[in-house]
């Protein structure tokens, strides 16, 4: 009962002890309490109750009862780190029990062998137990034994055998009421999915298991360990580290199992290493090694030593001693049959190469390279990395490139099984070493064009295909609606001068976790080749006038690949670290210039722009010609305001995450009808004045005067614009009262070719096409928008479901709203609507995002750089969904100064210009003061529309 209804079992055991039971019955009650404390509470209390249960069983003169208690005590002793005493208890238990009882004792000893990493002994004991348990029709213990055997098979890499045992165990669990064991079965299936390389299924199953455990109110430390392993494989190492450290704190607070603490420390060490925190990894791994050694858990100790060596290497401690240590770890892991053995051999080979020990390196790398032909994707990646290093040591650039190509192909196939764009982006980190090796080899042997090809091979690959659409999951949709409502309430509380209640903040974080979790469960399409970059096609598209500048970073230095006039040229520029530091100085300057009174800083910002040009373009700046320029920066330079660079300031300039995505944007056809959507969110200091003027311009209506049309507020001196004072919010910093801006503008219905009203299928709030029934052409109401109509959404009409419905398939969207960038969770970056935040996850539900989008909102062009060279943010979410061009900004901007820039930009679009051309002309039309100049530099045109 303790695993079917833990709380009830504990209560009944305590009730029984209060009724003066016989020694036999008291032994059972103390054993139940001991099990509960061992697995869900304080290990010291567990040991006290189990010793009492053992003594009472002896007093009752029941050998079978004593054997059963000794097995439970043995497990508890091992979990407490007292391995020798635990194994001794099992010896006595096996000797005292017989038949059915002995089979249960053997099963529990098999579990302990698994905990200790002694898989051969575990399989032997469970092999002896299962036939007896089946013979007496003990469904529960047979299912437990099958689950354990499957788990041991997984530890040895036998996924098919494990799957067969898990399936058999699950069929047995379905006939019982053992809810905790059923949750454990779901958890085990999640582990099997992970070992088979199916990360989305693993996350889904582990989350389902967590929900089941939560209903029982039982801690789930083993689940945390497994979930952390999956998170690390998905590139979410920072999250894994936080979860593991949090679990350690909880475990310490309750006096929990020492064995689980050691395992959590090992997971935390691995996560810290992957999160580029080598000193944290070193500290966690050192403690884990000591604990495992004291617990006599050699299998785990060896894995912890591997992480310890990796952390030492990451802190710059490479030495001959570490080569020997890594080789010894590799031999031990291979003897255990552990899947991590090739990683240890690769590590030994890599250290030896750095020391110049070529022969030793070849020996270790050859062993690691064997894994390239079989096993899960990441194991094959390890093998191809070893093969690439072997080729580099042998002086074969061709061999390096072939190994890198094969390894990245494996990772491509793995990434395409991931449906969530975040997982696809983060998973590329696994290929960073291969991509860097290939770039170095191509620089040596193939010239600029080959370097361009390899730069594109692993740049912004998440944009190469649309993300999997979120499922029509009612739980997900409900969570997103609730999240939006809570966020709106929290924002209102802040704007009213107070702080949100802690309960409100906790619920908002919980909903955010649920949304993200369900999104990560999505599976991707079947593996395929996808788009392959074609340098010849790029050069044909560029022609003689356009230049594409792709920046590649090799060993910390920026290399400029200048494409155009049928050729690719390479120039060396400055150091990436210096360019990043200068970009941060520029950002600080632009933030200051967004407020009046900072005119004196304008020359300083312009001088910083000149320094940035030297660091990022170097001598290539003199070879840009006179035509348009497309800049393709690496992920770490996404915040550079490219229009500030002197060589680019007067040009038609666009930015793209990759040359491939620029080509795809150029191939994107605009939707029929040319429908425009103008959205004004609440609380803008200028009231989103450009929306009123644009509405009048597009609909031919006269707009009444006043602040809503950009007229300065009363008292503003003639010839000046109203600009928020230094302490007044600009776009993206803070909102005013919700619902500002009035109602929606109604537009006369368009007429189709047949003289009737045009219709378009109605869509639900997720952007999905519905039944397609015709309705009135009514911008503000619930009907569908007409072909060629202008839709204006403001005030209460600017609510997320309505905004999404109108954005879907639009030709042009202009969204004036406060923007918020979330560095901690980029896909929760948002635009503020009347009913709360419109987040990136919302945009991913569109069937087709607008062909062109203008976002005069702060920080909408900010991204999180993740994986090898990927970007997560609002703009990169739109580009794979049908958007060919975006105008967005990288810094906080002045609300009032944005208005003339946006009006001039739209004037250019009406004249047939592209976004990049219109933005260039709009900057030139701005007043020459510092505020307006800084506003123009903060905006960039992305894509090719």
Q: Is the pLDDT of residue 203 over 80?
A: yes
Please state the separation of Cα 860 from the chain's center in Å: 19
Three-class secondary structure of residue 487 per DSSP: helix
The confidence score (pLDDT) of residue 469 equals 61
Three-class secondary structure of residue 683 per DSSP: coil
How confident is the model over 236-256, as pLDDT tens digits?
889 899 999 999 999 999 888
How confident is the model over 708-735, as pLDDT tens digits?
333 333 333 333 223 333 333 344 433 3
Question: Residues 427-466, buried b or exposed e (16+ Cβ, 10 A)?
Answer: bbbbbebbbbbbbbbbbeebebbbbbbbbbbbbbbbbbbe
Q: Is the pLDDT of residue 207 over 70?
A: yes
Closest CA to 261 of 273, 243, 271, 247: 247
Q: Is the pLDDT of residue 68 over 60?
A: yes
How confident is the model over 831-867, as pLDDT tens digits?
889 988 888 888 888 888 899 999 987 766 565 666 6
Of 102-106, 637-641, 663-667, the poorest mean pLDDT is in: 637-641
CA–CA distance from 268 to each of 91, 154, 204, 207, 333 (Å)? 34, 21, 22, 20, 20
The confidence score (pLDDT) of residue 871 equals 59
The confidence score (pLDDT) of residue 768 equals 31
Return the residue matching tokens 């015709």.
Answer: 774
The confidence score (pLDDT) of residue 454 equals 87
Percent with pLDDT over 70 in the chain: 83
Q: Is the pLDDT of residue 100 over 50?
A: yes
Percent with pLDDT over 90 in the chain: 47
More confident residue, 154 or 823: 154
| 703 CB neighbour count, 10 Å cutoff | 17
Residue 733: its H or E element: none
Q: Is the pLDDT of residue 827 over 80?
A: no
* Tokens coding 396: 């074969």
Q: Is the pLDDT of residue 76 over 50?
A: yes
Of 1-5, 286-290, 400-404, 747-751, the poorest mean pLDDT is in: 747-751
The confidence score (pLDDT) of residue 754 equals 32
Find out whether 35 and 180 touch, Cβ atoms under 8 Å: no
* Tokens coding 838: 């419109």
Cα(631)–Cα(659) distance, rounded to whole angstroms? 9
| 335 CB neighbour count, 10 Å cutoff | 11
Of 218-222, 428-432, 433-437, 621-625, the poorest mean pLDDT is in: 428-432
Q: Are strands 812-816 and 852-854 parallel, antiparallel or unpaired?
A: parallel
Say how many Å lie between the first and final Cα of the chain, rounded: 65
Residues forming a β-bridge with 572: 559
Cα(233)–Cα(267) distance, rounded to whole angstroms? 12
Q: Is the pLDDT of residue 740 over 80?
A: no
Q: Give this prediction's pTM.
A: 0.73
Closest CA to 229 of 179, 253, 193, 255: 193
Find out whether 383 and 368 touch, Cβ atoms under 8 Å: yes
How confident is the model over 614-623, as pLDDT tens digits?
999 999 999 9
| 639 CB neighbour count, 10 Å cutoff | 18
Listed in sequence order, the residues at least 6 apart from 379 whose beta carbon sits closer than 8 Å to its beta carbon are 339, 342, 371
* Tokens coding 606: 């312009």
Cα(725)–Cα(708) distance, rounded to whole angstroms? 19
Of 63-67, 135-139, 514-518, the poorest mean pLDDT is in: 514-518
How confident is the model over 534-577, as pLDDT tens digits?
899 999 999 999 999 999 998 899 999 999 999 999 999 999 99
Q: Is the pLDDT of residue 749 over 80?
A: no
Find out whether 536 and 214 touch, Cβ atoms under 8 Å: no
Residues forming a β-bridge with 678: 792, 814
């Amino acid at each position: 009962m303790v695993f079917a209804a833990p709380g009830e079992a504990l209560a009944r055991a305590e009730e029984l002890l209060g009724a003066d039971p016989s020694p036999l019955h008291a032994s059972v009650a103390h054993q139940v309490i001991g099990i509960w404390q061992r697995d869900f509470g304080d290990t010291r209390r567990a040991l006290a109750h189990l010793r009492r249960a053992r003594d009472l069983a002896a007093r009752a003169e029941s050998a079978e009862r004593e054997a059963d208690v000794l097995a439970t005590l043995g497990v508890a002793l091992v979990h407490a780190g007292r391995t020798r005493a635990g194994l001794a208890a099992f010896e006595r238990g096996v000797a005292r029990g017989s038949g059915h009882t002995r089979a249960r004792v053997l099963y529990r000893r098999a579990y302990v062998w698994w905990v200790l990493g002694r898989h051969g002994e575990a399989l032997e004991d469970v092999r002896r137990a299962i036939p007896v348990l089946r013979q007496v029709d003990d469904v529960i213990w047979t299912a437990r034994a099958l689950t354990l055997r499957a788990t041991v098979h997984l530890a040895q890499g036998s996924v098919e055998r494990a799957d067969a045992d898990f399936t058999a165990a699950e069929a047995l669990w379905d006939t019982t009421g053992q809810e905790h064991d059923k949750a454990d079965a779901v958890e085990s299936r999640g582990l099997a999915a992970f070992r088979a390389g199916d990360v989305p299924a693993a996350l889904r199953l582990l989350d389902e298991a967590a929900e089941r455990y939560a209903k029982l109110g039982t801690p789930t430390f083993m689940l945390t360990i497994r979930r952390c392993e999956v998170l690390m494989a998905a590139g979410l190492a920072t999250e894994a580290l936080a979860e593991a450290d949090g679990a350690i704190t909880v475990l310490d607070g309750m006096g929990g199992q020492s064995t689980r603490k050691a395992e959590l420390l090992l997971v935390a060490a691995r996560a810290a290493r992957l999160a580029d925190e080598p000193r944290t990894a070193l500290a966690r791994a050192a403690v884990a090694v000591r604990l495992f050694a004291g617990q006599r858990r050699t299998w785990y100790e060896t894995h912890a030593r591997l992480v310890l060596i990796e952390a030492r290497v990451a802190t710059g401690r490479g030495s001959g001693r570490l080569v020997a240590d890594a080789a010894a770890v590799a031999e031990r892991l291979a003897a255990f049959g552990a899947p991590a053995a090739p990683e240890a051999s690769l590590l030994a080979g890599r250290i030896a190469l750095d020391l110049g020990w070529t022969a030793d390196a070849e020996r270790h790398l050859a062993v690691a390279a064997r894994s390239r032909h079989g096993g899960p994707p990441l194991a094959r990646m390890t093998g191809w990395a070893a093969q690439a290093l072997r080729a580099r040591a042998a002086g074969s650039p061709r061999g390096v490139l072939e190994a890198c190509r094969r390894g990245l192909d494996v990772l491509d196939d793995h990434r395409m099984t991931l449906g969530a764009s975040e997982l696809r982006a983060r998973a590329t980190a696994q290929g960073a070493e291969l991509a860097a090796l290939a770039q170095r080899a191509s620089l040596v042997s193939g010239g600029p064009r080959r370097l361009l090809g390899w730069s594109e091979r692993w740049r912004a690959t998440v944009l190469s295909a649309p993300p999997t659409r979120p499922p029509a999951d009612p739980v997900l949709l409900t969570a997103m609606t609730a999240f939006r409502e809570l966020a709106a309430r929290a924002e209102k509380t802040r704007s009213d001068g107070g702080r949100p209640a802690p309960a409100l903040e906790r619920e908002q974080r919980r909903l955010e976790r649920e949304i993200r979790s369900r999104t990560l469960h999505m599976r991707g399409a079947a593996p395929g080749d996808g788009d392959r970059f074609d340098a010849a096609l790029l050069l044909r598209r560029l022609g003689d006038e356009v230049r594409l500048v792709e920046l590649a970073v090799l060993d910390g230095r920026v290399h400029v690949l200048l494409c155009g006039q049928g050729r690719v040229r390479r120039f060396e520029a400055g150091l990436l670290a210096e360019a990043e530091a200068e970009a941060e100085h520029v950002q600080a300057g632009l933030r200051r210039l967004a407020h009046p009174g900072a005119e004196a800083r304008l020359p300083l910002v312009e001088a910083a722009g000149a320094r940035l040009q030297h660091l990022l373009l170097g001598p290539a700046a003199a070879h840009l010609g006179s035509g348009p320029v497309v800049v393709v920066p690496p992920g770490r330079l996404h915040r550079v305001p490219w229009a500030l660079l002197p060589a680019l300031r007067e040009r038609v300039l666009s930015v793209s995450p990759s040359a491939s995505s620029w080509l795809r944007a150029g191939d994107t056809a605009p939707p029929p009808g040319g429908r425009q959507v103008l959205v004004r969110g609440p609380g803008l200091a200028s009231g989103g004045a450009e929306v009123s003027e644009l509405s009048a311009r597009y609909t031919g209506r006269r707009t009444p005067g006043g602040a809503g049309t950009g007229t300065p507020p009363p008292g503003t001196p003639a010839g000046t614009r109203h600009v928020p004072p230094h302490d007044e919010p600009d776009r993206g910093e803070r909102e005013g009262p919700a619902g500002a801006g009035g109602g929606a503008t109604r537009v006369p219905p368009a007429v189709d070719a047949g003289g009737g009203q045009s219709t378009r299928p109605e869509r639900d709030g997720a952007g999905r096409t519905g039944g397609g029934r015709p309705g009135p052409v009514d911008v503000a109401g619930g009907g569908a928008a007409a072909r060629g109509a202008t839709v204006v959404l403001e005030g209460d009409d600017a609510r997320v479901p309505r905004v999404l419905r109108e954005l879907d398939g639009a030709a042009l969207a202009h969204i004036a709203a406060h923007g918020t960038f979330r560095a901690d969770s980029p896909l929760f970056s948002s635009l503020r609507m009347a009913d709360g935040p419109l987040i990136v996850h919302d945009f991913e539900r569109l069937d087709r995002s607008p062909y062109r989008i203008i976002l005069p909102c702060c920080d909408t062009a900010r991204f999180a750089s993740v994986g090898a060279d990927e970007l997560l943010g609002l703009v990169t979410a739109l580009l794979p969904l049908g958007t060919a061009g975006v105008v967005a900004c990288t810094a906080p901007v002045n609300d009032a100064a944005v208005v003339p820039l946006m009006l001039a930009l739209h004037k250019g679009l009406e004249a047939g210009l592209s976004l990049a051309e219109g933005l260039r002309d709009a900057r030139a039309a701005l007043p020459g003061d510092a505020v307006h100049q800084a506003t123009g530099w903060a905006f960039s045109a992305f894509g090719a529309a």
